[in-house]
Amino acid sequence: MTFEIKPAVRIFQPVLISFWGGSSSGKTYSALLLARGLVGPHGKIGVIDTENRRALFYAGKVGGQWDHLDFQPPFTPERYVEAFKTFENAGGYNCVIIDSASHVWEGEGGILDQADKSTTIGLSKWAKPKMALKRMINTLLRSGCHVIFCLRAKMGVAQDGRGRDAKIYSSGLEPIMEKNLIFEMTVSILFGPDHKPLFQSAGERYFVNPIIPAIKAPEEILKAIRPGEYITEATGKAIADWLNSASRDVPGEARRVAGRGYAAFKGWWPTLTPEEKASLQDIVPELREIATKADEAAMAEDEDPLVDAGGYHDDAPTADDGQNDALSNGFESVLAHEPELPPAFQPQATAQPPAAQTTIPLATTATPVRLPPAQATAQPPATQTAQSAQRAATQRSASAASAVTSPPRRASAASAKPTAQTADPSAPNLF
């Protein structure tokens, strides 16, 4: 791969925003308001709700029309990725709100829970959970849409010294999440008990961890976040205006999204204007190659025995409101000659599998994702006559004498491939 030096030009980039604060500090309400201003009156907003559907309290009241996804435990990084990809693959979403992202850190099945249950001794027990978290964060960082993280906050503790001389002290208010996530954000805002951004220094009433900024944003965006004022749709619009004032590198953006695979690219395509779609015609072969390699790499990772059993499936149905014109025949023709797609997501086996299936539905437009329930094990009858027991034993002995082990049957490639969509005769066949 060759490197290319170009003049530095500010280009349009989706923003990553974190709202953090204590309970009832206004994070969800403010996120919905800001998201609506960010994407405009007709933009599509999705909410991943880990708070037992509490976001639905604001349905029809805040943020206009938006779609909801109920996310129940376990809160593993892999399931966060799957939930996010449900919106991404559905297509056309301009902003996704994750409320709350703190569950992946200290919720049931989260990083702390995994490390606590690990049989590995010492710091090594953190290696596998943190690598899974890093993959999740990287997936969200490369998203083609705006992402808003809602994070809970708590008073941190730290230790000075060791043994009998050790002293435990408060390190200040900090978000419940891996400590470096805040520094990945374009905008980060701490909310106070009055539901407003908390412009407080470390020495004032609300003691904030001095290494974590209470308010973080580029100078132009910071002008829209004022002390003593609520976050509103106007705040989101001000951020959108600044972002849209930059030139948009559509080919570069297309290459980046194609690097996430065919499903992500197809979900991103409806967000483009007809002119932007037409501008990509000359690099179609390159985009096809990038997406194909990304899908192959994802399949190889799923087959890697060192990778966790959990994962996600990229063949979720796409709802693009008829805007996905140039992709009607899409990469399906390319994928028809590829190896089998990775198996559908299976939750990690536990000693006591859940009795009923778990559903991750989108409340409005997107198709629900159903995690398959664990297969029930047949129970033997409570009683059995001596005669039937003897006959069964005789049959088992005869079968064992002539048994031949057969390899497991492999699922056909045709059943694993995504269903081809009907081509639009009026659309150019870019792919």
Cβ neighbours for 71, distance < 8 A, ≥ 6 positions apart: 48, 49, 50, 79, 80, 83, 360
Confidence of residue 143 (pLDDT cuts 50, 70, 90): confident
pLDDT tens per residue, range 121-132: 888 899 999 999
pLDDT, position 98: 97
Average pLDDT, the chain: 74
| Eight-state DSSP code of residue 362 | B
User: So what's the pLDDT on residue 401?
Assistant: 43
Residue 303 has what pLDDT?
Answer: 59
More confident of the two residues 350 and 248 = 248
| Residue 104 included in any domain | yes
Is residue 353 situated within a structural domain? no
Q: Considering its fold, how many domains does the chain have in total? A: 1
- Positive or negative, the CA dihedral 55, 56, 62, 64 is positive
Residue 338 within a domain? no
Mean pLDDT is lowest, of 70-84, 93-107, 220-234, 401-415, for 401-415
pLDDT above 60 (res 23): yes
Is residue 294 situated within a structural domain?
A: no
Residue 315 lies in a domain: no
Residue 53 within any structural domain of the chain: yes
Identity of the amino acid at 374: A
Q: Is residue 358 part of a domain?
A: no
For residue 417, is pLDDT > 80? no
pLDDT in tens, 81-120: 999 999 988 988 999 999 999 999 999 999 999 999 988 8
Output the domain CATH number for residue 236: 3.40.50
* pLDDT band with cut points at 50, 70 and 90 for residue 164: confident
CA distance 40 to 230: 19
Output the pLDDT for position 205. Answer: 63
Could you tell me the residue range of the domain that residue 26 belongs to?
16-248
Read off the pLDDT of each residue in 139-166 and give the average, rounded to a whole number: 89
Which residues lie below 8 Å from residue 176, measured CB to CB, with a gap of 6+?
Answer: 102, 105, 106, 151, 152, 153, 154
- Is there a contact between 81 and 312 (Cβ–Cβ < 8 Å)? yes
DSSP 195: S
Taking alpha carbons only, the member of 326, 341, 348, 194 closest to residue 270 is 326
The answer to whether residue 145 sits within a structural domain is: yes
